[in-house]
Amino acid sequence: EGDVYKYYSDGEWRKSSSGKSVAIINPTTRKTQYKVQACTQEEVNKVMDSAKSAQKSWAKTPLWKRAELLHKAAAILKEHKAPIAECLIKEIAKPAKDSVTEVVRSGDLVSYCAEEGVRILGEGKFLVSDSFPGNERTKYCLTSKIPLGVVLAIPPFNYPVNLAVSKIAPALIAGNSLVLKPPTQGAVSCLHMVHCFHLAGFPKGLISCVTGKGSEIGDFLTMHPGVNCISFTGGDTGIAISKKAGMIPLQMELGGKDACIVLEDADLDLVAANIIKGGFSYSGQRCTAIKVVLVMESVADALVEKVKAKVAKLRVGPPEDDSDITPVVTESSANYIEGLVLDAKEKGATFCQEYRREGNLIWPLLLDNVRPDMRIAWEEPFGPVLPVIRINSVEEGIHHCNASNFGLQGCVFTKDVNKAILISDAMETGTVQINSAPARGPDHFPFQGIKDSGIGSQGITNSINMMTKVKTTVINLP
Ligand code: G3H
């Protein structure tokens, strides 16, 4: 307590003139762990000004030099994996090993992005006019990709480092500058990650990180005329942002209700292992977590038994001990999850374990015989609680999946690949995984949601392309 982490603006660490701070509550101890500056709108304006001017010269910096700096930042980030992981443990209660993995994966992402960037931005197109009716070969068209300007990155609490760099690296390699608004839980991890970019020696003002209350600077940032692109990952706020933002490209990854459809011929051990990984890793706080199991009635008893046996082995406790199930991020999140559980209880779901909660820590819970009238059949708990709905036909499963307002990912388990592909085609989601749990990575794969799950597509290549626009020069021959 006492110390307030500084924010990062124009290449320097600064205190806010507001004199105010935002407390970050450790989800495990439920006590204040860190404090960050509560930046003002005036400070946001300054950040925008320096981002704008830094971008102009950055865009002229040779691509290979931009890549070189990103490789340097990636290496520094990996060197700092231990202290950053420590912040993740304290701020978002991510299990110790997963916290380290998040930082290493982030370093890899930054390097990959630098490599991909030099390849795809190193190429343009050349067109001739006489392919279009009525034209002679009198016009040559040269195309290249140019940066958008200032990119605003807003990552969520569950991957504050990884989902920040997945926006920062493509933005920078493409010649944009970057303003980062970290989530409250995860802000210090973000500041530490930004410090690695600072150490790598990026020009002043090219990257900045403003912390503060969403109510004070949230709308101000997203509606700021200086912003040329927003890349956001999070919840419903994204929908609000998309309505308020100006005429700029938006990349949004919002919630999900990823379904796991299990057919009669599925390898049930494989399914059970994937349900544990997909449903309970980081206590279900992943947008790509399995959030509903839709299993054929004839194999449901057997599957539920297998999953139950594995749930019993999950270690529940603090993230420092690398427990499998750790406290969820906030008390209000725990209360929300509890609301879904109580609703399911009232409406007659079968509890495979006893419901247990201490503070923000919720024990893993499998709910069998969930029916469509229960809230948990549709809502996203973002916690270690997984509903099972028994189905009598594949069509019923697909119907449930498609009736959701979300459409991020889904998965189907069967040995019949032809059937799996037809089911994948029928599922209205951005991605369908065959015989594995949903996941965003590897990070160069396209990643997108439809309906309320988002707009645009991520993944390294798509993000680089999205953060550029096409510029053409036409040579008119005499
Ligand atoms: O929470 C949303 C993330 O994009 C999911 O990423 O599949 O690597 O856990 P993940």
**Chain segment 50-94, per-residue pLDDT in tens:** 999 999 999 999 999 999 999 999 999 999 999 999 999 999 999
End-to-end CA distance of the chain: 73
Question: What number does the ligand 1 atom closest to the CA of 285 have?
Answer: 1
Rounded to the nearest angstrom, the distance between the alpha carbon of 221 and the centre of ligand 1 is: 25
DSSP, residue by residue, 330-352: -HHHHHHHHHHHHHHHHTT-EES
How many Cα atoms occupy the beta-carbon half-sphere of 170 within 13 Å?
Answer: 29
* Ligand 1, pocket-test mutation among 94, 158, 251, most atoms within 8 A of CB: 158
Q: Please give the DSSP secondary-structure letter assigned to residue 282.
A: G
- 411 belongs to the catalytic site: no
Q: Give Cα 187 distance to the centre of its chain.
A: 15
- 297 belongs to the catalytic site: no
Rounded to the nearest angstrom, the distance between the alpha carbon of 162 and the centre of ligand 1 is: 9
For 456, left (φ over 0), alpha (ψ -120 to 50), or beta? left
What does each C-alpha distance from 80 to 12, 104, 190, 193, 264 come to in angstroms? 20, 9, 12, 8, 47
Buried b / exposed e along 333-369 (16+ C-beta atoms within 10 A):
bbebbbebbeebeeeebeebeebebeebbbbbbbbbb
Tens digit of pLDDT at every position of the chain (478 positions): 469 999 999 999 999 999 999 999 999 999 999 999 999 999 999 999 999 999 999 999 999 999 999 999 999 999 999 999 999 999 999 999 999 999 999 999 999 999 999 999 999 999 999 999 999 999 999 999 999 999 999 999 999 999 999 999 999 999 999 999 999 999 999 999 999 999 999 999 999 999 999 999 999 999 999 999 999 999 999 999 999 999 999 999 999 999 999 999 999 999 999 999 999 999 999 999 999 999 999 999 999 999 999 999 999 999 999 999 999 999 999 999 999 999 999 999 999 999 999 999 999 999 999 999 999 999 999 999 999 999 999 999 999 999 999 999 999 999 999 999 999 999 999 999 999 999 999 999 999 999 999 999 999 999 999 999 999 999 999 9
pTM here is 0.97
Rounded to the nearest angstrom, the distance between the alpha carbon of 378 and the centre of ligand 1 is: 19
- Look at ligand 1, atom 6, and give the residue with the nearest C-alpha: 440
Question: What number does the ligand 1 atom closest to the CA of 443 have?
Answer: 8
Supply 474's token pair. Answer: 């036409």
Supply 87's token pair. Answer: 């912040």
Q: Quick check: 424 and 132 in contact, CB under 8 A? A: no
Count Cβ atoms within 10 A of the Cβ of residue 135 and give its class: 0-12 exposed, 13-18 middle, 19 or more buried: exposed
Buried b / exposed e along 7-23 (16+ C-beta atoms within 10 A):
bbbbbeebebebeebbe
Among 260, 287, 352, 411, the one annotated catalytic: 287
* Ligand 1, pocket-test mutation among 440, 458, 460, most atoms within 8 A of CB: 440
Give residue 2's pLDDT. 61
Rounded to the nearest angstrom, the distance between the alpha carbon of 253 and the centre of ligand 1 is: 10
ipTM: 0.96
CA angle (206, 211, 214) in 5-degree steps = 120
Helix segments in 93-236, DSSP class H: 96-121, 162-173, 187-200, 219-222
What does each C-alpha distance from 183 to 43, 191, 443, 449 come to in angstroms? 18, 11, 21, 21
Among 43, 102, 116, 253, the one annotated catalytic: 253
What does each C-alpha distance from 378 to 125, 373, 410 come to in angstroms? 46, 9, 14
Rounded to the nearest angstrom, the distance between the alpha carbon of 367 and the centre of ligand 1 is: 23
- Look at ligand 1, atom 2, and give the residue with the nearest C-alpha: 287
* Ligand 1, pocket-test mutation among 106, 287, 458, most atoms within 8 A of CB: 287
Give residue 1's pLDDT. 44
Give residue 27's pLDDT. 98
With tokens 């988002």, the residue in question is: 454
Q: Coil, strand, or helix at residue 391?
A: strand
Rounded to the nearest angstrom, the distance between the alpha carbon of 233 and the centre of ligand 1 is: 10
Rounded to the nearest angstrom, the distance between the alpha carbon of 353 and the centre of ligand 1 is: 27
Q: Please give the DSSP secondary-structure letter assigned to residue 442.
A: S
* Ligand 1, pocket-test mutation among 92, 288, 432, most atoms within 8 A of CB: 288
With tokens 């725990």, the residue in question is: 334
Query: Who's near 267: CB < 8 A, 6+ residues apart?
Result: 413, 415, 435
Query: CA-to-CA distance for 316 and 325, rounded, in angstroms?
Result: 5
Question: What number does the ligand 1 atom closest to the CA of 282 have?
Answer: 9
Quick check: bond before 156 cis, omega within 30? no
Q: Please give the DSSP secondary-structure letter assigned to residue 65.
A: H
Kindly list the protein residues whose Cβ atom lies closer than 6 A to any atom of ligand 1. Answer: 158-159, 286-288, 439-441
DSSP, residue by residue, 232-266: EESSTHHHHHHHHS-SS-EEEE----EEEEE-TTS
- Look at ligand 1, atom 8, and give the residue with the nearest C-alpha: 440
What count of other Cβ atoms lies within 10 Å of the Cβ of residue 393?
10
Name the residue type at position 99: S
Rounded to the nearest angstrom, the distance between the alpha carbon of 258 and the centre of ligand 1 is: 12
